[in-house]
Amino acid sequence: MQVDTDRMVSITALQKALTGKLRQLSRNGKPLFVMRNNELAAVIVSPAEYELLKDAERFLEHLEIAEMVDQRLPAHDVSKSISWEHVKAKRGY
């Protein structure tokens, strides 16, 4: 992963300047890379960036499900299908 070194901050420096760093993140929307012992320990992102990442994760999950359906569909035997109404009735819904 490439990290913009201008966006890197040590945990010690972050503890001392947390409010200012979060205010800066809110203004420019760029992630903050938190370092511990010269290794990446965390990435702080804006709420908008976090929501974008969560949306991308959900989209990828849907693609994975669609791929599984495509793989299983050729082997599907329609004669063994059970209607949703039957399943609900059996479960008392």
The full DSSP string for 15-50 is HHSHHHHHHHHHHH---EEEEETTEEEEEE--HHHH
What percent of the chain shows pLDDT beyond 90?
56
Model pLDDT, residue 11: 85
Round to whole Å and give the CA distance between 43 and 32. 6
Tens of pLDDT, residues 40-68: 999 999 999 999 999 999 999 999 999 99
Mean pLDDT for 19-30 is: 90
Classify domain 5-45 at the CATH superfamily level: YefM-like domain (3.40.1620.10)
Model pLDDT, residue 15: 86
Model pLDDT, residue 10: 86
